[in-house]
Structures are given as structure tokens and as C-alpha cells.
Amino acid sequence: DTAVSQTPKYLVTQMGNDKSIKCEQNLGHDTMYWYKQDSKKFLKIMFSYNNKELIINETVPNRFSPKSPDKAHLNLHINSLELGDSAVYFCASSPLAGGGHTQYFGPGTRLTVL
């Protein structure tokens, strides 16, 4: 059974389009995250939700909007896609919020904006 799953795995789209990435975890965790990994492999947190509430909102363009319908799901919607949004996006979850908890990552979604 996949612990943290993301769909789609690959996403190729044109500039200006709107797209969504879905994430689900079946670990029973309370906290979920979105990370962006750029072409140099640098990982940076974007958002974190604890029990459907936003707890981390890093400096990310307003075009990115996370949505958590329940604590097992955290989706990422991106409006008006730009070339610079091309990256790998990782979803992760941890048992609780607060530092120190191990985060378990999904397989990643490679977004390519043409």
C-alpha cells in the first residue's frame, strides 16, 4: 500500500494554464506539506497543513493555492502557470505538527511548463 501518493506523476502544460496536483496519505497523519524541488535539487517548503488548517505559508506567489478537504488530502492548485514553475513538487506527511517529526514523502510530480 502506498503511504503518500500524488497524482499525476508527470504534468506537461502550456504557460498560462491552470493545473492541480493531488496528494493523499493513508498513514493517519495529522500534518501534510508541499515542497518544491528545483532543477538544482534544492528542496524548499511551500505550505503545511495541520488537521486541515494552514500552519506554514512560505513566500510563494498567490498563484499557488493549497486546499485540504480533510486531513488525509492536500491538493495544490496553480493558476496562470509560468516557465519558472517547472520543478518537481513533493507532498509529505508527518504524524503531528511541530518540529522533530519525520516527514514521509510522496513520489513527486514533475511539472513542465512550456
Q: Which residues bind another protein (CB under 8 A)?
A: 31, 40-45, 48, 50, 55-56, 58, 88, 90, 92, 97-108, 110
How many DSSP H helices and E strands does the chain contain? 0, 11
CB of 65 to another protein, least distance (A): 19
Residue 53 CB neighbours (<10 A): 11
CB of 16 to another protein, least distance (A): 27
Q: Which is nearer to another protein, 25 or 48 (CB)?
A: 48
> Cα(36)–Cα(44) distance, rounded to whole angstroms?
5
CB of 60 to another protein, least distance (A): 13
The residues facing 111 across adjacent strands are: 11, 87
